Amino acid sequence: MGELEFEKVNTFSCITTYVAHKSHTVTEMLKKLHLEMKHFAILVNGKRVSLDDVIEPQDEIIILPKIAGG
């Protein structure tokens, strides 16, 4: 098996934090995790990112579920 591209470092309630080990786009990461961007907000090093942004090694990635309601 190849080198891990990212590892889960923390889960608090519904917020999951990863650290990247290889460069890849947000889209590539979400595909590997079987997640759709429309259901989540992605922060890299504390800043919101788009699907084509590149995640670099040692970046901290936080995946937040989008919540709707009234």
Residues 24 and 61: beta-carbon distance below 8 Å? no
**Residue 32: what are its φ and ψ, rounded to 5°?**
-65, -30
With a cut of 80, say whether residue 68 has pLDDT above it: no
The answer to whether residue 49 is domain-embedded is: yes
The overall average pLDDT reported for the chain is: 85
Could you read off the pLDDT of 11-33 as tens digits, one per residue?
Answer: 777 788 999 899 999 999 899 88
Flag whether 45 is in a domain.
yes
Beta bridge partners of 8: 18
Domain count, the chain: 1
> Has residue 16 been placed in a domain?
yes
> pTM to 2 decimals?
0.77
Dump pLDDT digits (tens) for 31-65: 988 888 788 889 999 999 999 999 999 999 999 88
Which residue in 51, 59, 64, 49 sits closest to 22, CA to CA? 59
pLDDT of residue 45: 96
| Residue 70 included in any domain | no
Structural domain contains residue 20: yes
pLDDT of res. 38:
84
Residue 1 covered by a domain? no
